[in-house]
Amino acid sequence: MKVPVAVDGRQLVLTNLDKVLYPEAAFTKAEVIDYYSRIAPVMLPHLRGRPLTVKRYPNGVGGQFFFEKNAPRHTPSWVRRVTLPVPGSTMDRASIDFAIIDDLPTLVYYANLAALEIHVPMWRVSAEGEALPPDILVFDLDPGPPATIVECCRVAALLRDALAADGHDSYPKTSGNKGMQLHVPWPDGERDTTAYAKALAQRLDAEHALVTSVMTKRLRPGKVFIDWSQNNPAKTTVAAYSLRANPRPTVSTPLSWDEVAECESPDQLVFTAPDVLARVAEVGDLFP
């Protein structure tokens, strides 16, 4: 069934709205589109100007998925696109025609493609489509079992204090999976985010038994891996308010530092799409 709709003056055709994309929660494609439409006022500011990578699940979270960076051929002409070089591309491409989600119609368009997960880099493009220096530094905190997000919260607090000592604010969010991320506004585009993040992660690794800055799996049980490498300009991180492809429609959710400090159980920091809509209605956007 095809349903034509107008979204902020743009014409779209929505399809397969009754298809269940999250079987455990009986959460349909219509509900995915509804979530992204309603969360758009707080989500769009974190997406604007950032080249897009999506994970599409045409048959739901239990089916096959694929990453998509190149805008599909059928992408409407009104969707903003930028062509950027991609040295070392695994697809052997010299450049990629990236889409950018700058507005509600584009967000709805991608939701209709079952692009459940939305990932973006820590940099934006200019109005002319040129890549700008990073404006965010990110730490991805990944717990090695039996560690959980509870231990991630402890490491996030260590990072927050170290960053504050260097004059940087930081903002936590869940990954929507088992870990979390810390975003650091980075106005000084001349300073290498990767080098700074690596040095800080290695310092905390040396100072705290709970922390590792090394990706090697055998060194990670019971520890929290501070992944500083996400600051490589070629990498992306799941966007704030993006759905994740789990049995339930969990969301990468901005947190308050009080919530981080009070976390005693992983269940405390699991938020689904309905949870996040209610949460934002109450507290607004906790991200800068």
Q: Is 261 exposed, middle or buried (0-12, 13-18, 19+ CB in 10 A)?
A: exposed
Rounded-to-integer distance, Cα 139 and Cα 225, Å: 10
Q: What is the pLDDT of residues 116-133, one digit of tens each?
A: 999 999 999 999 999 999
Per-residue model confidence (pLDDT) at position 16:
97
Rounded-to-integer distance, Cα 174 and Cα 150, Å: 11
Q: What percentage of the chain has pLDDT greater than the value 90?
A: 91
Q: Please give the helix or strand (H or E) that residue 163 lies within, else none.
A: helix 149-165
Per-residue model confidence (pLDDT) at position 191:
76
Q: Is 142 exposed, middle or buried (0-12, 13-18, 19+ CB in 10 A)?
A: buried
Quick one: average pLDDT of 179-190? Answer: 89
Q: Residue 55 in contact with residue 66, Cβ under 8 Å? A: yes
Per-residue model confidence (pLDDT) at position 94:
79
Per-residue model confidence (pLDDT) at position 243:
98
Q: What is the pLDDT of residues 22-55, one digit of tens each?
A: 999 999 999 999 999 999 999 999 999 999 999 9
Name the pLDDT band for 92 (thresholds 50, 70, 90). Answer: low
Q: What is the pLDDT of residues 263-282, one digit of tens each?
A: 999 999 999 999 999 999 99
Written as six digits, the tokens of 152 are 């991630």
Per-residue model confidence (pLDDT) at position 91:
54
Per-residue model confidence (pLDDT) at position 253:
98
Rounded-to-integer distance, Cα 223 and Cα 203, Å: 15
Q: Would you say residue 63 has pLDDT above 90?
A: yes
Q: Would you say residue 161 has pLDDT above 70?
A: yes
Cα of 282 vs its chain's centroid, Å:
22
Written as six digits, the tokens of 95 are 């450049």
Q: Choose among 83, 81, 82, 75: nearest CA to 109.
A: 75
Quick one: average pLDDT of 163-169? Answer: 96
Q: Would you say residue 187 has pLDDT above 80?
A: yes
Rounded-to-integer distance, Cα 127 and Cα 124, Å: 10
Q: What is the 3-state secondary structure (H, E, C) of 216-280?
A: CHHHCCCCEEEECHHHCCCCCEECCCCECCCCCCEECCECCHHHHHHCCCHHHHCCEHHHHHHHH
pTM of the model: 0.95
Written as six digits, the tokens of 104 are 């509600």
What does the mean pLDDT of the chain come to?
Answer: 95
Q: Residue 134 in contact with residue 205, Cβ under 8 Å? A: no
What per-residue string of b and e applies to 174-190 under the rule 16 or more CB within 10 Å gives b? Answer: bbbebbbbbbbebeeee
Per-residue model confidence (pLDDT) at position 206:
97
Name the pLDDT band for 217 (thresholds 50, 70, 90). Answer: confident
Rounded-to-integer distance, Cα 135 and Cα 107, Å: 22
Written as six digits, the tokens of 32 are 């995915």
Q: Choose among 176, 285, 162: nearest CA to 228.
A: 162
Please name every residue paired with 142 in a beta bridge, in sequence order, or none if there are none. Answer: 225
- The more confidently predicted of residues 91 and 263 is 263
* Polymer length in residues for the chain: 288
